[in-house]
Amino acid sequence: MPITSKTVACAVIGDPIHHSLSPDMHNAAFQHLDLDYVYLAFRVQKENLSETISGFKALNFCGFNVTIPHKEECIKYLDEVDETALKIGAVNCVVNEDGIFKGYNTDGMGALRAVTEGGFELDGKRIVILGAGGAARAIVFTFAKFAGKITVLNRTFQRAKRLVEDILKTVKIPIIAKKLIYEDLKAAILEAELLVNTTSVGMYPHTEETIVPQELLHEKLTVFDIVYNPPETRLLREAKSVGLRAIDGIEMLVYQGAEAFEKWTDKKAPIEIMKKTVLKSLKKE
């Protein structure tokens, strides 16, 4: 579909932004459904964030994604923020709702869909989360609605502690913060059914790194790694090699994107096209 005077614009903002796969993923989806939409990527520095958002409003963008480092900061420039995104403290998707810019967080829902479609039922399960950054916050807030117990282990203990304190204001299941050290990691994994890596460990170019020694991967464990470049991290490779169910970060990337796509277009997102496009773009890098 050619760009016309009626083309509807959306975008992603972040800094850096040139590695983002979102433009390829969303433009392929728009083309597949023959929608007159275009998705652009803009590198936006912190001092220009407010003006960028005002500019998108003036130009009547249908919405935009927000990525590192603006997910928290952008909140103060939006007209409204969805309750879950407010609790998480981060927005990754903004929707123009009749001129009102409303912020959402689709990372948690993307992760939830990735594990459930991957065949894992969260209800009452014990979950280990590695990391306590932005993605971890969204995932812990979402999974806590279903899980039986969550242990958050992070290299910087204070960050895990803060996450857990925030979430305990709204949920009643046991949620524990631990420093990421071998003994605590071992104890948490041994009693868990789901292990989620939300740290950037294992991400390109450090693809041979993993936090979890292979001997801790027991037969009752499902492993979900949200790193998507490479799609098969060392952690997932080792999980598969001992016969465990392994869910990759591409699934979450596509499902969080699909949530945004559906909010902007009111159409069902073409998941398979989005997934294929992302994998193809990763191969080109």
Residues at the site binding ligand NAP, with contacts judged by CB under 6 A? 68, 107, 110, 131-136, 154-156, 159, 198-201, 203, 226-228, 249, 252-253, 256
Nearer to ligand NAP, 159 or 161 (CB): 159
Measured from the CB of residue 186, what is the shortest distance to ligand NAP in angstroms? 16
The distance between the two most distant Cα atoms of the chain, rounded to a whole number of Å, is: 61
Nearer to ligand NAP, 256 or 277 (CB): 256
Could you tell me which of 77, 142, 137 has the C-alpha nearest to residue 103?
A: 77
Q: What token pair was written down for 12?
A: 């992603």
Measured from the CB of residue 68, what is the shortest distance to ligand NAP in angstroms? 6
Minimal CB distance to ligand NAP: which residue? 133
Measured from the CB of residue 210, what is the shortest distance to ligand NAP in angstroms? 10
Q: Please, what sign has the CA dihedral across residues 239, 244, 250, 256?
A: negative
Nearer to ligand NAP, 16 or 55 (CB): 16
Spell out the residues 6+ positions from residue 23 whose beta carbon is closer than 8 angstroms to its own: 12, 39, 40, 41
Q: Pairing mode, if any, of strands 37-43 and 8-14? A: parallel
Nearer to ligand NAP, 54 or 158 (CB): 158
Nearer to ligand NAP, 131 or 270 (CB): 131
Return the residue matching tokens 């014990």.
Answer: 126
Could you tell me which of 146, 151, 170, 149 has the C-alpha nearest to residue 161?
A: 151
57 burial level (CB within 10 Å; 0-12, 13-18, 19+): middle
Measured from the CB of residue 251, what is the shortest distance to ligand NAP in angstroms? 8
Q: What token pair was written down for 68?
A: 């590192």
* List 57, 71, 268, 280, catalytic entry: 71
Measured from the CB of residue 116, what is the shortest distance to ligand NAP in angstroms? 15
Contact (CB, 8 A) for 173 and 144: yes
**Annotated catalytic residue 71:** yes
**Which residues does the annotation mark as catalytic?**
71
